[in-house]
Amino acid sequence: MVSLQLAHQLDNKNVLLIGGGKMGVTRLKKLLPVGSKVTLVSPRFDPSISKSGMFPHQLPSQDGEKVIINADWRHQDEKTGEETVQIYKVIQDEFKEEYFNLDGEEEYWHLILVCIASDNKSEEIHALAKKKYGNQQMVNVADKPALCDFFFGANATLGGGLQLMISSNGISPTLGGIVRDEITRHFQSMDFDESMKRLGDLRVKIRKATTNPSGPDKPEDIQYRMRWIKTATDFFGLKNCERIDVEKLVALFLEMRADNMSLKFASPEEMVATYAPSK
């Protein structure tokens, strides 16, 4: 069965990561950049966790304090304004059922990730999570596709917030990575930052131009602007979106909307020449 691909918003969401080895590190590299509030449970930790700055404090030793909370787990650099997200809590121990308990008001984990070598223990943790929170609790057990409610695919960020995910549905992550790298190489010369900026501006300005000031937008207005934007964007294709003239296109939209919500555009060649001319 194939999966439904979703872009998951994890900013400030509680994520339980069980296992601090190399597989756990790969999960951290995906979770921290998107703002996840990670609690890490493991008896031992891969050295790269502290070396890479994922956790600022000295990791607990076997004889030291078992639980360390990083109160400053997300902070901004005063000079650059860039935000750094680190692990929120580290628990130096083998997993126990009591570690499912969350601090604060939330009653469940947004995600639970199991990244340990023991198959039996992994299956036990999965069963405990489902028993405690029900089937709605999202769990991923590394290298056990049958015990995964979701998969970590190979992600490509092409610029401007444009992301692609390639998933093998747990069958061959290596192949997913190869496909991602090939896509990245193929599109590396394109200015996706500019394309995303211009298309985003176009969408915002068209929505603003058709917003009903006295109440909810009319369904016909919503449907028309969605169809118009999709049809117009298709004319330009990937290579020309970075050059579109937003103001001229908004004017065209208003003109066509006034003409009984027309969807009769000029030819693709005329559209490109007029609204995305070559430099």
Q: Judge residue 101's burial from the number of C-beta atoms within 10 Å of its C-beta, 0-12 exposed, 13-18 middle, 19 or more buried.
A: exposed
Q: How far apart are CA 9 and CA 62, in angstroms?
A: 35
* Nearest Cα residue to 200 out of 156, 152, 167, 233: 233
Q: Encoding tokens for residue 234?
A: 């298709």
- As annotated, the active-site residues are 143
How many Å is the maximal CA-CA distance in the chain? 77
Residue pair 42/20 in contact (Cβ under 8 Å)? The answer is: yes
Bridge partners, residue 16, by sequence: 39, 112
Bridge partners, residue 179, by sequence: none
* Nearest Cα residue to 228 out of 251, 198, 196: 251
Residue pair 114/139 in contact (Cβ under 8 Å)? The answer is: yes
DSSP state of 109: -
In three-state secondary structure terms, 221 is helix
Structure-token match 């070559």, residue found: 278
